[in-house]
Amino acid sequence: MSDSRRQHAPQDIYTREPWRLVETRFDERYLAAAESLFATANGYLGMRGTCDEGQPVVHNGTYVNGFHETWPIVYGEEAYGFAKLGQTIVDVPDAKIIRLYVDDEPFFLPTATLEGFERALDMRAGTLDRELVWAHSSGQRVSIRSRRLVSLEHRHLAAIEYDVTLLASDAPVVLVSEVVDSGGSTHPNGDPRTRQFGCEVLDAEVGRAADARVVRGYATRSSGMTLSCAIDHEVRTDCSFGVKASTDESAGRVVYSIDGTVGTRIRLTKYITYHTSRRRQVEELCQRAERVLDRAVEKGFQGLLASQRRFLDDFWHHSDVEVPDNPEWQQTIRFNLFHMCQATSRAEGVGVPAKGLTGPGYEGHYFWDTEIYVLPFLTYTKPRIAQNLLRQRYDCLEEARQRAREVNQRGALFPWRTINGNEASAYYAAGTAQYHINADIVYALRKYVDATGDGDFLKEVGAEILVETARLWVDLGFFGRHDGKFRINGVTGPDEYNTVVNNNLYTNLMARENLWYAVKTIRALSEDDPQRFASLVRDIGLGADEIDGWRQAADRMYLPYDERDGVHLQDDSFKDKQDWDFDSTPLDKYPLLLHYHPLVIYRYRVVKQADVVLAMFLLGHEFSHDQKRRNFVYYDQLTTRDSSLSCSIESIIAAEVGEADKAFSYSIEAGLMDLADVAGNVQDGCHIASMGGFWMTLIYGFAGMRDTGGRISFAPKVPVRLGGLRFPLQIRGQRLEVDLTPTSATYTLRGEAPLTIVHEDELVELEPEVPSTREVRRRPQAAGGAPAVTASDAEAVTPAGGPS
């Protein structure tokens, strides 16, 4: 990927600070991107980083995770088993708006004369802060400060503090705080990955206003979900003022009319709450909202700030990745980690949308991205949240069983994209055919159990998932008549540019792991917990002969391999396709999916994301080092990286096979996916899975961590230009602190019991509170045997296009 696909905002506007993302000048050219980058969320509630005054705006989004509308999928030609209902997250009523009028003149950023401006996403405080001075042509000057937060402690609560001070002369001041039913649009940018519904799909059923409070209640027209939204206010000032609250069919507002005096601060605090339900109980939701507002007003904004800081202090204690003396990289790392915190912290009973709650991209759907890219971070930093997300999949197991029946299979088939547990993809070739989602969920389950030792969760939740996913694989595949190998035809791997193929390597390898793990777990369960095993036999009809069938299928799994070139084939027909002419494809034709008909792409040997490389990362023990190198080199030249999920995995394998420059470059690409708008669509929301992938490039790539079968090992490959790397991991209830330089590694265990790890094939017995330092002896070798990291790297500068 050339640097020309990175669209960096100028550094005189976006400065580099290790704990803040800072905007020093308002520029409408970056408005859409900034709305995503400066979004605030908690995993349940999300607000895009729009202007406090509501205008100007591109996507004025406020989202509640899981709150969606359904709509009939219309096909030109119907076929059996196609998904019937689409699901789209709703842009709920917007309660962020606070309009300001001074001397009856509205404050409007694009036309205002500003003497100073700064907006910052504070990643330690968990707030979006703005400070400016508005200089009016009349000679009036107004200081405006605001601070917005979506509470990480209080799931349903957000708040805004808005300060106004007249600096030149007395004048009337009007503050209008609103909650407005937002309109929506379909495919707003012509991008099929984006659909947006606003309040046109909501019926208002409750609307009341009293004192400084507005309460509104709604129901969706098709999905049957209900919503309440409510706002309340406090004003602190020595100026005299009056207040009036009102509501109508499309909005509610509280208007403060203030006799402003020069030098006297006017502080408006706005509390905002949202509640949703899958049942029709609008009035009950409105009562819940009022109780939340009562507590918020009692707690006060300062109390919310304090709880936000406590929450984030704990988050950073468990999750921070430090790069000493490298503030540019530090900001990039913390920006990505902070948005993962915002996307997952209160995602209880729901999944993680591909864009988090930062924008309308991918309609608020959950994908396999969660299990493969987000859960590794959570498993080793916040395992409770990882368990919540795995339990959410279990809660949708009945819908997965139903989906398997719809596609004529036994067992369960988890949906490729969903909000409510049902398949929402209308394009089966790149959607339903991605059966690998079953194995991805099981893979994440196993990693969670290995890292935490949570055997109870495996028995109570995981066992049933294992049985039903194993059943599907055995029913889906067949034993070849000539070689007796188990084959799986008609599937799509992670690479959506090669669809409905036979024996996709990634799918077959992951299915085999799924089957082996099911055999191991269920057999152990029959011996260790006969009661739980008996319940599986009774409740889902588990038969002893099934387990033998799973084992046979796994042991005889077919894996396509090209003997001549010594590479694993992505699928049976991959080598039979025509080469894509990369040299003649202009940069503005990427991603290919937006410029070429799918049938054109499917005829060529071109890769959106290298799923063979992904398989080598997830199941590295199945490949020799030479195989990894040959596979990496082969697929690297065929991969467009049109998927934001690709570069992080390629970075990890590049580091492992000695391609240090590519490892560094691809890691930057993952880290800057949103900050530099690498994919060109950050206006639709941040790429949460790519953020998780970036964490993996640091931990699995540069730190060289592997976690096979519960054994933790490290083969560090920290680039000299990165300087160093420090991070914690949670392993079976204990804290492992890792401190790396290009030449040394120090491991410190915080806990009560010893822990054995592996450092470069050496067993290291760690004792609690006793640091253990080892030399990093192995340096990655580039092609031809030259060191991949050389002395020239010691200049400690970031390469062109990187976070500099």
496 is catalytic: yes
Question: Which listed residue (161, 363, 468, 496) is catalytic?
Answer: 496
User: Any bridge partners for residue 254, and if so which?
Assistant: 177, 245
Q: Are strands 226-237 and 213-220 parallel, antiparallel or unpaired?
A: antiparallel
- Position 144, amino acid: I
User: Any bridge partners for residue 174, and if so which?
Assistant: 101, 257
CB 68 within 8 A of CB 420: yes
d(CA 539, CA 533): 10
Helix (H, G, I), strand (E, B) or coil at 491: strand
d(CA 655, CA 697): 9
Residue owning tokens 């790392």: 333
d(CA 752, CA 770): 11
Phi, psi of 544 (to 5 degrees): -60, -35
CB 305 within 8 A of CB 149: yes
- Looking at residue 589, the DSSP 8-state letter turns out to be G
Contacts of 301 (CB under 8 A, 6+ apart): 159, 161, 234, 269
CB 276 within 8 A of CB 227: yes
Taking CA atoms, 36 is separated from 40, 367, 441, 682, 720, in Å, by 9, 20, 28, 7, 33
Q: What does the block give as tokens for 170?
A: 């007395």
Q: Which of 503, 507, 476, 489 is nearest to 611 (CA)?
A: 507
- Written as one string, the DSSP assignment of 664-722 is HHHHHHHHTTTTTTTTS-GGG---HHHHHHHHHIIIIIIS-EEEETTEEEE-----GGG
d(CA 325, CA 331): 12
3-state helix, strand, coil in the chain (%, to 5): 35, 25, 35
CB 176 within 8 A of CB 193: no
Contacts of 213 (CB under 8 A, 6+ apart): 230, 231, 232, 233, 245, 254, 290, 293
d(CA 212, CA 231): 8
CB 522 within 8 A of CB 536: yes
Contacts of 165 (CB under 8 A, 6+ apart): 142, 143, 263, 264, 265, 266
Burial of 274 by CB count in 10 Å (0-12 exposed, 13-18 middle, 19+ buried)? Answer: buried
In the chain, the largest separation of any two C-alpha atoms, in whole Å, equals 91
Active site amino acids: 496
